[in-house]
Amino acid sequence: MTDFAPAFLGMFESLRMGPTFARGRRDERAGHVRSLTVSSSLAVAQVRGPEDPVAFRSRIAVRAFGAAEWARVESALVTEARFVAGLLDGRMPTGIEAVFDDAGLTLLPLSLNEVAMDCTCERWPVPCLHLAATIYALARAFASDPFEVFTWRGRHRDELLMRLRRLREESAVNASEVADDAKTATRAETAAVPEPPLIDTGDPDAFWGRSLDLGESPVQDVAGGRSDALLDQLDPPRLARHGRPLTEILRPAYRALSDTSGVGRTG
């Protein structure tokens, strides 16, 4: 997990005000920073050292990023699944500073020119002992909850996570719509190609089958040409009408069919 405290402290300790920061570190560890509140662009502490009759208010300010700047950062974060997963899980992913760098921003101030400080003790030089203790208290806050850095830069943790969830959902919906559009386009292209007909409709014989010669009889000659011979080849049926077997009733019909089978023939 990214620890912002060392880089943050290093910027202030570069002032080479060793005794002041040594005293501020001791006062912070001793609990003389009574309260610390981090909000957009501002960290405010109440500090009362061992020789102070009252607590003094110390403030450290930095420029908060604007809405458009945060929008660039959030859009970039959503493209990296590991960043989103880590943040939604309450962790600060390693390397997240690079996202701000790519957006033309720095998560932590790079120089003291980007920071404003004051204290109600009005002692000189700045930072005073109270501000030094506040700096260490703020570094401790960044170490215990790195999201406080985002808050200091203008985006509270809850708001950031809410926006990341929404952007991730929108990204998933857009990806699904693109996939659906691609499938629809593929189906449209496939439908635009006509399938070859199973039968050549320009060939009647192929469409309807072999032409039927109306002169041909569907009854095949058997037993020397007698069309009723088929009845003699069947087992006698048990059915009868008025005492006459069914075969005898059907025989005239078979013979009549044979007599008419030559209709339409020539030669």
- pLDDT tens track for 79-91: 988 999 999 888 8
Question: Given pLDDT bands bounded at 50, 70 and 90, which one contains residue 46?
Answer: very high
- Distance from C-alpha of 219 to C-alpha of 222, rounded to nearest angstrom: 9
Which range among 17-21, 118-122, 129-133, 185-189 shows the weakest confidence by mean pLDDT? 185-189
Question: Given pLDDT bands bounded at 50, 70 and 90, which one contains residue 260?
Answer: low
- Name the one residue in this structure whose structure tokens are 């006509």: 194
Average pLDDT rounded to a whole number, residues 53-70: 97
Question: Given pLDDT bands bounded at 50, 70 and 90, which one contains residue 250?
Answer: confident
- Name the one residue in this structure whose structure tokens are 């790519």: 102
- pLDDT tens track for 105-156: 999 998 889 999 999 999 999 999 999 999 999 999 999 999 999 999 999 9
Which range among 9-18, 70-79, 191-200 shows the weakest confidence by mean pLDDT? 191-200
Single out the residue of 218, 251, 217 nearest to residue 234, CA to CA: 251
- pLDDT tens track for 170-184: 876 655 555 555 666
- Residue 264 is predicted with a pLDDT of 43
Question: Given pLDDT bands bounded at 50, 70 and 90, which one contains residue 214?
Answer: very low
Single out the residue of 143, 175, 164, 202 nearest to residue 8, CA to CA: 143
Q: What is the mean pLDDT of the chain?
A: 81
Could you tell me the two tokens for 142? 């960044």
The answer to whether 27 and 133 have CB atoms below 8 angstroms apart is yes
Provide the CA 56 distance to its chain's centre, in angstroms.
Answer: 50
pLDDT above 50 (res 99): yes
Query: Over pLDDT 70: what percentage of the chain?
Result: 69
Single out the residue of 209, 189, 206, 186 nearest to residue 198, CA to CA: 206
- Residue 243 is predicted with a pLDDT of 72
